[in-house]
Structure 1
């Protein structure tokens, strides 16, 4: 596939004298029982030029041959592998929190997080690094399984706490757009931002975790999505083609956490004094309606609604938990 050209900055910023060192970056991958997909990702990292300084692989207690697959790449992948197999499945949220923690403790300046169902394009790190002198929270673009350009909802309505589904997809000559969200399938973030906002919150388990983390990052820095194709999805997902965008199939577990985790977002909003109960409640209602549409038009079934109600019920417990606190920063602010 021929990569499109896009307006990119030079590898260094002449004004500041800054430049990007690939060795300062760590790729952090979360995997669970998908060794075949992980193999494709590791093959793509082997072919990268340049390569990162480290590759962190967090294994969410897989029961397949993931450990053997990882070990088989140690001598050939061309970068240092740090493999952490967890005792229990902590979900994507727990895996990314652990992966980012390890990368941070390795001294990484940049942390590039991704799932196991993507491939990295050979010059992906160079493309992301070209923007590093200008921004500290960066999202690249990716191709979908069929080679089409994947549209990611990079803007959220903060009062509603939900993505804006039809935010403009085009880029102007600058080659980037400001975002106030995040996606752990390719988030590229500087350690200074991680220090300020802390690690991703493992309590989400799955869903809303990356959106919330990206939103937190956008509150302390200018976060951007750049017109650089750096990843390719390697897993086909059932979708409903809506013309402008697609709606993916889900699962009962996702339905549960989609609704339960609204309560965690609410707790962050309250802690940061941006919570409007009427508007946030509307966002929750719209989310519930969207999941009903997903059931009817993507999965073509009516069962599964009980998981939505169960998530709402358990979310109320989180909302009332007097001991709940946001994830703490890794470095205290000078004012603290």
Structure 2
């Protein structure tokens, strides 16, 4: 493969799944119908207790590509699953790694659409249709001082067909192995939430990261939402409420490590995050119970920020022209 071309066989799709074999089946069915298909498919199973293993094996011949199945010994969350999936894809030699959850399906020409941008960029996010066929809006810009997404970053595209981003979403992140080598694997300690935001931010520090005007995925699971007119607010869970606050401690350390931490604004960002979760509870889930998970997350996030640990290391030593961050 040259710098001017994209070889689909150089790409790996890395999927994380947990007890959702029916959704995984739909995703793998969509991979079967892809044209072109990737060279590798990696499925990381977070210790499912359903028939996920049997489902994966049933596709081994049908996929027409190399299939790697890794069953974790315990549920490591999306963070641990994507970290392992990226590690496996990297070790297989994949040049491009396309991450996705099990609750999407791939548009048949999705890889071709992503591949046409591959000669220009090394961290790419495609677009996604929501469950009802509407256009899903993803908050692709982070306010780094506040550590929160910018909810009203422009949704439209100009003639260039892309917008620069400084965040990431593991539901569709398409990233080159050279960037993975520089920033390391996703941090499994997050378990869920903020892991892809931080990883996308790290990538944007090494290369021009973009979201492109290409629809490549479709969500296959309906999620309860509150229609705010311009945007939607999805339902959540007690686990998400806990980790969204606890993982602010991990974000704080990553920002500190890279000279981006601004104490007062980051504290205000944590307050905005807390308030958003209260709104989600009342207007989307129609309840008030669950706030205790937010407070537990704040408490444990402070412990995380003070604990002795280091961010994920790079996979390759920096060169003279590509210094460490």
Same fold (TM over 0.5): yes
What's the CA shift for 1:334? 2.4
Is 2:161 aligned against 1:175?
yes
- Return the alpha-carbon distance in structure 2 between the equivalents of residues 171 and 40 of structure 1: 30
1:245-324 to 2 correspondences below 5 Å? 245-321=231-307, 323-324=308-309
Is 2:318 aligned against 1:333?
yes
Distance change (3 Å), C-alpha of 1:192 and 1:310 = same
Partner of residue 37, structure 1: 23
Larger mean Cα displacement after TM superposition, 76-85 or 35-44: 76-85
- Return the alpha-carbon distance in structure 1 between the equivalents of residues 253 and 240 of structure 2: 20
SS of aligned partner of 1:36? helix
Is 2:53 aligned against 1:76?
no
SS of aligned partner of 2:167? coil
What's the CA shift for 1:274? 1.0
Partner of residue 212, structure 2: 226
- Return the alpha-carbon distance in structure 2 between the equivalents of residues 121 and 103 of structure 1: 21
Could you tell me which runs of 5 or more consecutive residues in structure 2 were left unpaired when the two chains were aligned: none
What's the CA shift for 1:17? 5.7
1:216 to 190, 194, 202: 202
1:3-82 to 2 correspondences below 5 Å? 18-82=4-68
1:134-145 to 2 correspondences below 5 Å? 134-145=120-131
Could you tell me which runs of 5 or more consecutive residues in structure 1 were left unpaired when the two chains were aligned: 1-11
What's the CA shift for 1:189? 0.1
If the length of structure 1 is used for normalisation, what is the TM-score? Answer: 0.94
1:117-128 to 2 correspondences below 5 Å? 117-128=103-114
What's the CA shift for 1:79? 1.0
What's the CA shift for 1:156? 0.7
- Return the alpha-carbon distance in structure 2 between the equivalents of residues 259 and 17 of structure 1: 41
CA displacement, residues 205-249 of structure 1 (integer Å, 9 cap, x when unaligned): 000000110000001100000000000000000000001110000
- Return the alpha-carbon distance in structure 1 between the equivalents of residues 237 and 301 of structure 2: 18
Partner of residue 133, structure 1: 119
SS of aligned partner of 2:202? helix
SS of aligned partner of 2:206? coil
- Return the alpha-carbon distance in structure 1 between the equivalents of residues 147 and 178 of structure 2: 25
1:242 to 201, 220, 228: 228
Runs of 4+ in structure 1 off by over 2 angstroms are none
What's the CA shift for 1:18? 1.1
What's the CA shift for 1:77? 1.3
Partner of residue 74, structure 2: 88
If the length of structure 2 is used for normalisation, what is the TM-score? Answer: 0.98
CA displacement, residues 81-123 of structure 1 (integer Å, 9 cap, x when unaligned): 1000000000000000000000000000000000000000000
- Return the alpha-carbon distance in structure 2 between the equivalents of residues 53 and 77 of structure 1: 10
What's the CA shift for 1:78? 1.4
Partner of residue 158, structure 1: 144
